[in-house]
Amino acid sequence: MAGRRLPALPGLVDAARQVAHEGRPERRPGVVLARHSHRGADQLLNLKLTIFFFAFLPQFVPPGEAGGSWHMIGLSLVFMALTFVVFALYGLCAATMRDQVISRPRVMAWLRRTFAAT
């Protein structure tokens, strides 16, 4: 394993080099969108999510209700909207923390030393 080189993600390597030299990577929205556009389809085909909806949501639909399927679809949409809001907040917090860390040279130096030691 000592002489073996593992393949790296091209975009990640370029961004890391740019951060090391300039302090902030270039933002290219089209490239990021192209790299992550398949994630929506992955989630639609995620069997665990489907099993969750079929196991969890029926307990909130009254038995024998006409239009119970529509009630479950509505609950699913509410769940997905709340999940989106939570992850959007995570993203905003992560972006804020990233900006705070990158803007402080002492913190960046400490992080580089820590990662170099591991």
Q: What is the CA radius of gyration of the chain?
A: 22
Give the separation between CA 40 and CA 57, rounded to whole angstroms. Answer: 22
Contact by Cβ (8 Å): 15, 25: yes
Q: What is the pLDDT of residue 58?
A: 86
Q: Which residue has the tokens 């709340």?
A: 82
Q: What is the pLDDT of residue 1?
A: 45
Grade residue 28 by pLDDT with cuts at 50, 70 and 90: low
Question: How far is CA 68 from each of CA 44, 50, 53, 54, rounded to the nearest angstrom?
Answer: 22, 17, 14, 12
With CA atoms as reference, report the closest residue to 83 among 45, 52, 38: 52
Q: What is the pLDDT of residue 85?
A: 94
pTM listed for this prediction: 0.52
Q: Please state the rounded mean pLDDT for residues 12-24.
A: 56
Tokens representing 18?
A: 């740019």
Q: Which residue has the tokens 């002492």?
A: 106
Q: What is the pLDDT of residue 95?
A: 92
Q: At what angle do helices 105-117 and 68-102 cross, to 10 degrees?
A: 100
**Between residues 19 and 91, the one the model is more confident about:** 91
Give pLDDT tens digits for 49-85. 778 888 888 888 888 888 888 888 898 899 889 989 9
**Between residues 9 and 75, the one the model is more confident about:** 75
